[in-house]
Amino acid sequence: MAMATMAMRRAVALGARHIPAAAAASSRVVPLRHMSTDAGAAMEKIRAAGLLRTQGLIAGKWVDAYDGKTIEVQNPATGEVLANVPCMGSRETSDAIASAHSTFYSWSKLTASERSKALRKWYDLIISHKEEPALLMTLEQGKPMKEALGEVNYGASFIEYFAEEAKRIYGDIIPPTLSDRRLLVLKQPVGVVGAITPWNFPLAMITRKVGPALACGCSVVVKPSEFTPLTALAAADLALQAGIPAGALNVVMGNAPEIGDALLQSTQVRKITFTGSTAVGKKLMAGSANTVKKVSLELGGNAPCIVFDDADIDVAVKGSLAAKFRNSGQTCVCANRILVQEGIYEKFATAFIKAVQSLKVGNGLEESTSQGPLINEAAVQKVEKFINDATSKGANVMLGGKRHSLGMSFYEPTVVGNVSNDMLLFREEVFGPVAPLIPFKTEEEAVHMANDTNAGLAAYIFTKSIPRSWRVSESLEYGLVGVNEGIISTEVAPFGGVKQSGLGREGSKYGIDEYLELKYICMGNLG
């Protein structure tokens, strides 16, 4: 299982520091006097709402790591330590799996209506407490409060949608080949699900997986990112309050190699669902082979944003800005390459740079902030590497291009011109606030450039031509295409990629099929 171990090691929050086990219980939440005024007030509000959970969840009980080890959760905007959470491993994960497996038999036997009601109550609780999870997201992930509130609504929408979809899992009746037979097809839950989620959307990436899993009768063991566990734990607390039974939803975090190995090796875990990098996804896929698990993967992207010369400039600038700079460029569907037709390249570049200049960088708790910090120092160094590579090969920085004066992991919103296909900015996902502008001449050239990648998650086009919008959309080798729109994700539409951007779909009526197995029943001798 060496490959699985490497996969989970990459998924772990690198650089997380352990504190002595003795401090695990008494000092789990950092005293408010050690935090800035805004962070301290936010943490106090979360604590007062009863949603500041700092232990794992196994079999309905909040538990520490069995050896007492903990990991620090830090605020990327300030470097302050927010809390300490358990550094769990194989033993805790095995117990979580056992709990999920035991609960699966009772949870899956409930009627669809009963499961639906529990999920609906969970949705209601998330919405009624939306400010606290949003504050947690801003504190531990860094995104502006407005975006965090948007993610709470977005994340909750999956719980609402799949609460409704739970009652619409239909089977089939097949016309028989013989008169005394009846042929039926049932859809049944796959079983225990291991869900591994990233830090950039610490609520929505959980609900998008857990919602359909619980709806169809599966039980789940969630491993959130060690960078952002507090949001996941708050969501799990609300699930318990909603009546999701003990053991149906478990949360473990900490020693990623051990947790990953336990999930992959267990024959009781019948499915792995993962959102994260393509490299880690490949290793999880390989690690799942030994027990032939069902796998769904939402992996990295390299999204092209194509602006044709017949586009509405204002619409294209607004859409491109949203597609590129949401969450400071830290999303898998961010516009990674902005391809602009030569006829409007200068006009678009001027308008786009002006729009980027208006972005306010700062602490996400400040109302005026539209760009928060990157998640950590490693993320900043990656952006710097990409910028240095581009400028060494002839690109020119048109705006930004350096660390922000605020320090920490803040980086200036950046626009780079004269980008070519031999640069890292073109070939790989930068995952930061950097917008490369790339001119093109013809539609055919733009489609070729857009498809010149192993990734295939999201793409965007801007044009007033309806024939072109159809033609190009169908030519793009991507699972998602936005036409004259930069924000396209919704709970009612399937989300997922092609090529090396993943397997399967999340959200929509198609997403629930990822957690179901088909069973064919032949009834004979019926007279």
Q: What is the pLDDT along the chain (527 residues), one digit of tens a residue?
A: 333 333 343 333 333 323 233 333 334 665 655 566 689 999 999 999 999 999 999 999 999 999 999 999 999 999 999 999 999 999 999 999 999 999 999 999 999 999 999 999 999 999 999 999 999 999 999 999 999 999 999 999 999 999 999 999 999 999 999 999 999 999 999 999 999 999 999 999 999 999 999 999 999 999 999 999 999 999 999 999 999 999 999 999 999 989 999 999 999 999 999 999 999 999 999 999 999 999 999 999 999 999 999 999 999 999 999 999 999 999 999 999 999 999 999 999 999 999 999 999 999 999 999 999 999 999 999 999 999 999 999 999 999 999 999 999 999 999 999 999 999 999 999 999 999 999 999 999 999 999 999 999 999 999 999 999 999 999 999 999 999 999 999 999 999 999 999 999 999 999 999 999 999 999 999 98
Asked if 429 is an active-site residue, the reply is no
Residues 6+ apart with CB under 8 A from 399: 353, 356, 357, 412, 413, 414, 415
pLDDT score of 38:
87
Q: What is the Cβ-side half-sphere exposure of residue 323, based on CA atoms within 13 angstroms?
A: 34
State how far the Cα of 145 lies from the Cα of 244, in Å rounded to an integer: 28
Q: Which residue out of 92, 140, 298, 429 is catalytically annotated?
A: 298
State how far the Cα of 499 lies from the Cα of 478, in Å rounded to an integer: 8
Residue with structure tokens 């550094």?
A: 87
* CATH, domain range 50-299+506-514: 3.40.605.10
DSSP at 31: P
The model's pTM: 0.93
pLDDT score of 30:
59
State how far the Cα of 437 lies from the Cα of 444, in Å rounded to an integer: 18
- The candidate with the shortest Cα–Cα distance to 104, out of 272, 237, 269, 265, is 269
Domain ranges of the chain: 50-299+506-514, 303-490
Architecture of domain 303-490: 3-Layer(aba) Sandwich (3.40)
- The candidate with the shortest Cα–Cα distance to 292, out of 121, 46, 517, 496, is 517
